[in-house]
């Protein structure tokens, strides 16, 4: 019983419905749908800002979707007390001439379940990042020559890193020009930092391994960091209690491209950095303006 409960908390899909809408921000947009290479249908919003520069935004996992994070329905213990709307950064990007593709990963929001019907913390979702980039460059004629930037948050950053390591993955997409990786997180470090007792980790891990077909604790995107081929800004709250900062430093050290590290000194809460990205546009716009 405990194993299923813990596994559900970590990998159960569709835990967060959409709570926001681009129309509320006065944004010009359309609802879109496209398929990943394995046939999974993904759904999202295409925010219209310009035809020569597009940002593909990939959200964090489990309790999130393309709209961001909403505390409603998250139980008694909520990691953040208010909505974190990812449409805030879409708004400031659109105002500066960027179009923005915001999509739901498989098993999140309005997208379909994956061929493995559980959240994998990045390895399966990597296919979705590639599909989102290809949708812009291959299925939308108006963006055929557009330069693409990637804004990848937490599991989105993990999935993007895995996507660079895929055969025929992002490393072969020359139209991608820059990446902002916000707080990439390995499952194993999260579980350890979360303070979950060992017997619960083992019980949940056994169920999760049977569901996914691999042990999440043994999966790491760190070997794929060296395959990232575009200028990368790594963003991390140094007061984040749910990660291992040595792992973040290892990620940064493994980047063999033009790179910068942005250490945030903000509230002792992992979600504070997700909120920061929407409230403080200077670093995001500065990196993309420089490289996209």
pLDDT, tens digit (0-9, with 9 covering 90-100), for 90-107: 999 999 999 999 999 999
Looking up tokens 């999509």, which residue turns up? 103
User: Is the model's pLDDT at 77 over the cut of 80?
Assistant: no
CB 225 within 8 A of CB 249: no
User: pLDDT band at residue 193, thresholds of 50, 70 and 90?
Assistant: confident
As a whole number, mean pLDDT of residues 248-272 equals 98
User: pLDDT band at residue 76, thresholds of 50, 70 and 90?
Assistant: low
As a whole number, mean pLDDT of residues 41-55 equals 97
User: pLDDT band at residue 200, thresholds of 50, 70 and 90?
Assistant: confident
CB 191 within 8 A of CB 201: yes
Least confident of 8-12, 22-26, 176-180: 8-12
Q: What is the average pLDDT value for the chain, to the nearest integer? A: 95
User: pLDDT band at residue 192, thresholds of 50, 70 and 90?
Assistant: confident
User: pLDDT band at residue 73, thresholds of 50, 70 and 90?
Assistant: confident
Share of the chain above pLDDT 70, in %: 99
> Between 78 and 71, where is the model more confident?
71
Predicted local confidence at residue 282, as pLDDT: 97
Distance CA 124, CA 114 (A): 8
Q: How far is CA 257 from CA 159, 177, 211, 231, 280, in A?
A: 19, 11, 36, 6, 25
As a whole number, mean pLDDT of residues 47-66 equals 96
Predicted local confidence at residue 140, as pLDDT: 97
Residue 259 neighbours by CB distance under 10 Å: 17
Domain boundaries, the chain: 2-291
**Burial readout 47-83 (b: 16 or more C-beta within 10 A, e: otherwise):** bbbeeebbbbbbbbbbbbbbbbbbbeeeeeeeebeee
In 3-state terms, what secondary structure has residue 79? coil
Question: Helix and strand tally (H, E) in the chain?
Answer: 9, 10
Least confident of 14-18, 50-54, 197-201, 234-238: 197-201
> Between 10 and 230, where is the model more confident?
230
- Homologous superfamily assigned to 2-291: Alpha/Beta hydrolase fold, catalytic domain (3.40.50.1820)
Predicted local confidence at residue 85, as pLDDT: 97
Q: Tokens representing 42?
A: 């993904």
pTM over 0.95: yes
Residues 6 or more apart in contact with residue 23 via CB below 8 angstroms? 29
């Amino acid at each position: 019983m405990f194993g299923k409960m813990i596994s559900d908390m970590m990998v159960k899909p569709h835990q967060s419905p959409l709570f926001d809408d681009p129309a509320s921000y006065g944004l010009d947009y359309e609802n879109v749908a496209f398929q990943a290479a394995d046939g999974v249908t993904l759904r999202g919003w295409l925010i219209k800002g310009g035809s020569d520069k597009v940002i593909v935004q990939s959200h964090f996992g489990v309790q999130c979707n393309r709209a961001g994070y909403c505390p409603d329905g998250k139980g008694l213990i909520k990691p953040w007390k208010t909505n974190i709307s990812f449409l805030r950064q879409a708004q400031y990007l659109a105002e500066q001439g960027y179009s923005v593709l915001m999509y739901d990963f498989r098993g999140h929001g309005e997208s379909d379940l994956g061929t493995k019907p559980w959240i994998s913390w990045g390895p399966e979702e990597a296919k979705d990042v590639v599909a989102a980039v290809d949708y812009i460059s291959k299925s939308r004629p108006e963006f055929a020559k557009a330069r693409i930037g990637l804004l990848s948050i937490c599991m989105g950053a993990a999935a993007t890193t895995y996507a660079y390591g895929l055969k025929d993955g992002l490393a072969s997409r020359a139209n991608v020009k820059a990446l902002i990786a916000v707080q990439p997180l390995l499952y194993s470090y999260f579980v350890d930092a979360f303070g979950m007792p060992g017997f619960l980790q083992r019980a949940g891990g056994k169920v999760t391994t049977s569901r996914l077909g691999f042990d999440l604790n043994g999966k790491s995107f760190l070997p794929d960091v060296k395959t990232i081929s575009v200028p990368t800004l790594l963003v991390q709250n140094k007061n984040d209690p749910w990660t291992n900062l040595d792992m973040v430093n290892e990620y940064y050290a493994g980047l063999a491209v033009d790179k910068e590290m942005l250490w945030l000194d903000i509230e002792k809460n992992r979600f504070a950095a997700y909120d920061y990205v929407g409230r403080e546009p200077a670093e995001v716009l500065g990196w993309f303006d420089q490289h996209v």
